[in-house]
A and B are shown apart, each in its own frame.
Chain A
Amino acid sequence: MAEVVSLQDGIRHLLKDGDSVALEGFTHLIPMAAGHEIIRQRKRDLTLIRLTPDLISDQLIGMGCVSKLVFSWGGNPGVGSLHRFRDAVEHSWPQPLVIDEHSHAGLTNRYVAGASGLPFAVMRGYRGTGLDEFSTTVAPIICPFTGEELRAVAAVNPDLSVIHAQRADRKGNVQLWGITGIQKEAVLAGRKSLVTVEEIVDELDPRHGDVILPSWLVTAVAMVPGGSRPSYAAGYYQRDNDFYVAWDSISRDRDTFLAWIDENVL
Chain B
Amino acid sequence: MESSETYTSDEMMSIAAARQLRNNQICFIGIGLPSKAANLARRLHAPDLIMIYESGTIGAKPTRLPLSIGDGELGETADAIVSVPEIFNYLLQPGRIDIGFLGAAQIDKFANLNSTVIGDYRKPSVRLPGAGGAPEIAGASKRVIVMLRQSTKSFVEKLPFITSLGFGTGPHDRKKYGLTGSGPVMVITDLGLLEPDPNTKELVLTHLHPNIEVEKVIESTGWTLKVADELRITELPSKAELEAIRSLVSAGS
Contact = CB atoms under 8 A, between A and B. Distances in A.
Nearest to B133: A104
B179 A28 contact: no
A184 B140 CA distance: 25
Interface string B151-172: 0000000000111110010000
Nearest to A29: B70
13 contacts: A26-B70, A28-B72, A77-B67, A81-B127, A89-B124, A104-B131, A105-B93, A108-B84, A124-B139, A129-B164, A130-B162, A179-B57, A241-B71
Interface string A109-140: 10110000000000111111111001000000
B93 A73 contact: no
B51 to A, nearest CB: 14
B163 A51 contact: no
A129 B163 contact: yes
Interface residues of B, number: 56
Interface stretch (A3-11, A157-165, A231-239, A256-264): A231-239
B252 A185 contact: no
A94 interface: no
A131 B163 contact: yes
Contacts of B136: 103-105, 123-125
Contact of B69 (A27, A129, A184): A27
Given A90-B127, A232-B72, A125 B135 contact: yes
B118 to A, nearest CB: 10
Interface of A: 26-28, 51-52, 71-75, 77-79, 81-82, 85-86, 89-90, 101-105, 108-109, 111-112, 123-131, 134, 148-150, 178-182, 184-185, 209, 232, 234, 238-239, 241-242, 244-245
Contacts, number: 178
Interface of B is mostly: loop
B238 to A, nearest CB: 28
A23 B146 CA distance: 31
B55 A109 contact: no
